[in-house]
Every structure is written in structure tokens, then in C-alpha cells.
Structure 1
Amino acid sequence: MNDVLVLDKQQTRAGLDPLRVLDAVAVALVALSRGEVSAPPRIAAQAPGGLLGAMPAYVPGIGLAAKLVSVFATPGQVGRSSHRGLVALFDEHDGRVQALLDAEPLTAVRTAASATQSMRALRPQPSRVAVIGTGVQAAAQLAMLAALDASMPVVVGGRDGTRAAELAARHPKAETASIEDAVRDADVVFCCTGATEPVFPRAWLRPDAHVSSVGGSHGHELDPAVLADGALFAEWPGAVTAPPPAGAYELQGIDPARVTLLGAVLDGAHPGRGGRGGLTVFKSTGHGALDVAAAAVVHDWARAHGIGTAVAM
């Protein structure tokens, strides 16, 4: 037996320093683009109200982990879903279980980190950013943007004006607007919804906007015209070639040659926007390598501060 460090939701959240997760996720994305990550496509068991996914991954120099996560629609709230589960972190050398973490805050923060890296790589220094959505993922995205640059103007757009206002109040420079006004005025649009159909039409976007879509676990979040017009980026090749839930609904049937891995841009192997104008689109499916990166950040923090409960297993 060995002692396993168990962290509850509050402890896991406390260890998710946004900037450290941002850096760790960049390393994982680059490793993905270089083909250095060992991870099978996500598998899932389907239940009437949602799915239970399994996501193991090994990232050299970061660690070995596996996530079990359920994605279920929120009853009575159209377009909302929950992500609940756990992440098990293992020693990459001898296979011992090192820690068990709460998957919900970890997933939200690592997803926001991946989306933010797409902005940094493809549309740096925007004059105005829109966050579309008012749930857990939108809140994580707003917090990540505040940690990166609290002076960056942000507008929150959502169907529920009250929830949008409550979310915007968490950011020193955030305002609220309708989804249409938020999208039309933004250089960068973060789509953070549980939508099963496109949230807005292509016509609302600026010609040179960057769109980051992290929602759509149950269907399409983006207008097909956005995909048709944009230069496309993803975290891993299977976002295009694997069927959902591993791949993205929006990318099914698209020529894989059209999709560039975000890590290749971060690594300097691909020019990204490269000084050219035009629409860029990052479609996130999530990936086990990102969970490994975030889990390692939390584990290092917990050990350094003596946080968590040691359980013999």
C-alpha cells in the first residue's frame, strides 16, 4: 500500500493557479503537436441523460493521469450541462497512485487555459473580448482572462441577463450585452456554452475575429459557415478524425488537412495567423494531456503546502 493524497473540490480549486495551469497546458499542447503524448481517444458510456467518459494520458516530463468525467444535461435548463468526476494522478516511473482530485474545477480551468492559449497564439492583444455563456465554463474563462490581464475589456453575452450581470461582476473590466452585440463588437469570442445548435450566425462575426469554441459536448455550438470560412485549429488530430464524444461534432467530415494543431503554433512550427487577416477558429474537444498538466500543477501545490488527506490504498 501507499498513501494517496485526496483533495476535495475546494482544495483542488485552490491549487489551480491560472497562470501556472496556462503554462502547463501550453507544454501539453506542444507535446501533442509533436506526437509525444500517449493517449487513446476518449471513450464513453452513454446513459439516458448524458455520458461517462474515460481519458487516460501520459505527457513526458509532466506525468501520467486518467480522468473519469460525467457530462449530463442540467434538468430544466436548456443549453446547460455539468461535468463531474475525478482525476487520478499516477507516478510515471513506478505506476503508484499519487493523488485523487476533483475533476469539475480542474476541467473548467484547463479548458479555459487551452482556449486562452488559442487567443495568445492567433489573436494576441485584442481590443475587446466576448465571453458567450453564463455557466461554470464561462466563469472559468472570465477568471483566466482576469488573471492574464485584468485591464482587458470583456463583454459577457448570454440568454439570461441576470446571470450574465452576476458573472460580469467578477471581472474588473467586464460589461454585459446581448449575444449579438457581444459578438459583433469583439475581436475574440469565447464560446462557453452547453449548446446543441449554433449559438450565433457567421454574419455577426468580424472578418478577422478569432473564435474559441469549448462547448458542444452534445451537439454543434458553431454555425457551419464559421467552420467553412475560418482557418481551423484544434488540440489534437482526433478532433477531426474521431467521432464524438472524442472528436468534435463541428469537425466531422472536414478535411483533416484544413486543421492545424494549436501546439504547432505555440511551438513556432506553424505561423498561425502569420500576419494575415481572416477568421480563425479554435475548436476544443478537451484532451487527457491537458488534465495531466493541470493535475500536476495541483499536486505540486498541495505537496508544497501540506494540503489534502493522505489515504492508504
Structure 2
Amino acid sequence: MRRQALLLNAAEVARLLDTEQLLDVLAKGFETITDETAISPPRGEMAIGDAGHLLTMPAAVPGLPFGTKLVTLFPGNAAAGIPTHLGLIILMDSVTGEVLALMDGAHITAMRTAGAATLAAKLLARPDSRAMTILGAGVQGQAHLDLMSRHFDIETIYVGSHGAESAQRLAARDPRAIAIEDHEAAVRASDIVCLCSHAEHPLIHMDWLCPGQHISSVGYAPPCGELDPAIAARHRLVVEARIAFAPAPAGCAELAGIDPAWGTELGEILLGRKPGRESIDEVTVYKAMGHAVEDLVVADMVYRRAIALSAGQSITL
């Protein structure tokens, strides 16, 4: 008899994803990446004409189901009010290979990305950070606004975007937030700078930076991207995994040509093998490329809560 699988829609995933546990779950995942106990082949990519891309992201971690995420990146969706990132996550039994669950991946992608950036900021940003700039007012901008402000005593949040209206909409969600047009002035006034866009060219420049800042970049737009490569090459650089230095789509376009030895994995800091921030004036940089282990550990958390709460719909495939 075939085992039934659990189907979880977007609303159920959002309800079941525990933001209080999110950073701890992600931290354990990053430790398995550094310890090389996780299995995760390089991310695959297929172009769908000129409209967008399909990415495939499989992973396995000891003690958890294994699985894969299918994620689409269609930048043109924004104009139609459709998320630019859409995804499906499939969890499978690590003994039999049977499908355990199929769940919407958009919310998990958004929250694990912002969660990992927040975890990196906790390790790298100054604890007394009070001002933050968010450039990019889409899904990631919203997720960063929520998660970063939970873990720092942020007093002022500058929000900038390619479109003034989208920046104003995001800023309206938080009384501390201000929609801005002068990105340079906002960056210079901030302790934490979050790049959350689909920009194909750098959003900030080296001469905008000030001592002690933390720069976070989660955008993915090869062959270039939102982060100035000179910033990554000059300042303390932290990544999710060493594969970030591989060519896109497995790695980050902005890190092309940088010696992988220059970077530090998040797991190395979490395991005490490398330090976090080393001085008050140090400029730190976190560059995310997205890692399948992040999706897997968060999807497993959602799946376990669904089982415990009898949530979702059982289906026979």
C-alpha cells in the first residue's frame, strides 16, 4: 500500500512556520554544511525562454527526510502583482524514498533567506545597531523588515526601491520606517544595510560605506547583481557555503574571481572555528546565494508541526 503524502498550501505553510525557532533551525543546518554531513549537489538552472528560470535544489541532512525545491524566478511577474519567486518543496522518506509532503515553497524561501541574513547579522553586525537601510521593497524587503527588527533594537529604517510607491508601501508597515529616494545618504546613516533586490547592477558603492557597518545582500541576478564585487573583495566576507564562489547558478555572480579562501562560512562561526565581528570599525559583508539545506531544514520544521497539529490534506499520489 502506498503511503499518503501531506499537502500544505501557502496559507498553511505560513501558519506553521515558527519564526521563533527559525534561526535555531537554520543555524543547525549551516553547521551540517560546514561539517560536510549534509549532501547538496550544485543548484541546477534551466532558462524558460526570456521570461525566467527554473532552479532545482536537492538536499539531504542526517536524521531528516531528504528533499528538493523547485523554484521559478520570473522577474516580469512583479508588474502583474505575482510573486517573482514561486516554489514547490517535496520531502521524501530517507529509508524508502516515498513522498512525505508537498508544500508551497514561496514563504519558506522568503523566510529562510531573511532568516539566514538575520542570523548572519547577529554574528557580524554591531549589537548596538540602531539604523538600517533596506533597498528593495518586494517579498525579501518585507521579510527583512520583519525579522531584522525582531533581533536588533532598530530605531530608524530607511526603505528604498526602484519604484517610489513600493518603497512607500513597505515603509507604511512599520512606524520606524521612512521611504527614501537618496540611497547614498541612507546607507551612510545606517549600521546595517540590506540589499533585497533583483537589480542587475550594484545598488551601493564602496565609497558610501562607513566603519563598523554590516552589509547584507540576498539578491540573485546573474551575470552581475546588486552587490559591488569590490565590496566583497575588500571587506570581511561571510557566505552560507564555499560553493558560493562557484560560477552561477550554483554560486554568486558577484563573487566571481574572488579566492574562496577569502570567505568564511556561517557554519565556521557557529561552530567556533572562525570569529564573528572582530572590531568595532570592521566592515562585514554577508552574501547569500541560497542553499538547499536551508529549505530542507525549514520545510522539515513545517512538516513536523503539521503532523503534530493534524494540519494539511492527506493525498494519495
TM-score above 0.5: yes
Quick check: 1:36–1:59 contact (8 Å CA) kept in 2?
yes
> 1:120 is matched with which residue?
122
Percent sequence identity over matched residues? 36
5+ unaligned residues in a row in structure 2: which ranges?
Answer: none
Correspondence 1:281 to 2:300: no
Structure 1 range deviating more: 42-51 or 251-260: 42-51
Task: Select 1:162's aligned residue among 157, 160, 165.
Answer: 165
> 1:102 is matched with which residue?
104
Aligned ranges for residues 1-313 of structure 1 at < 5 Å?
1-48=2-49, 49-74=51-76, 82-125=84-127, 126-148=129-151, 153-178=156-181, 179-218=183-222, 219-240=224-245, 242-275=246-279, 277-313=281-317
Shift of 1:279: 1.5
What is the RMSD of the two structures over their aligned residues, measured on CA atoms?
1.9
Shift of 1:183: 1.2
The residue type equivalent to 1:29 in the other structure is F
Shift of 1:294: 1.1
Distance 1:69 1:207, change over 3 A: same
Deviations 1:186-224 (A, max 9, x none): 111111000111112111121221111000333321112
Quick check: 2:130–2:154 contact (8 Å CA) kept in 1?
no
Quick check: 2:130–2:153 contact (8 Å CA) kept in 1?
no
Shift of 1:247: 0.5
Structure 1 segments, 4+ long, off by >3 Å, are 146-153
Q: TM-score when scaled to structure 1?
A: 0.93
The residue type equivalent to 2:306 in the other structure is A
The residue type equivalent to 2:244 in the other structure is A
Shift of 1:266: 1.7
Distance 1:200 1:149, change over 3 A: closer
Instruction: State how far apart, in whole Å, the 2-side matches of 1:251 and 1:150 are.
Output: 31
Distance 1:17 1:312, change over 3 A: same
Deviations 1:130-164 (A, max 9, x none): 21111011111112124435755422222323221
Distance 1:291 1:159, change over 3 A: same
Distance 1:97 1:266, change over 3 A: same
Instruction: State how far apart, in whole Å, the 2-side matches of 1:309 and 1:214 are.
Output: 33
Distance 1:229 1:115, change over 3 A: same
5+ unaligned residues in a row in structure 1: which ranges?
Answer: none
Q: TM-score when scaled to structure 2?
A: 0.92
User: Equivalent residue of 1:41, what SS?
Assistant: coil
Distance 1:145 1:273, change over 3 A: closer
Quick check: 2:122–2:151 contact (8 Å CA) kept in 1?
no
Quick check: 1:150–1:173 contact (8 Å CA) kept in 2?
no
Distance 1:4 1:110, change over 3 A: same
The residue type equivalent to 2:247 in the other structure is P
Distance 1:295 1:228, change over 3 A: same
Instruction: State how far apart, in whole Å, the 1-side matches of 2:100 and 2:83 are.
Output: 30
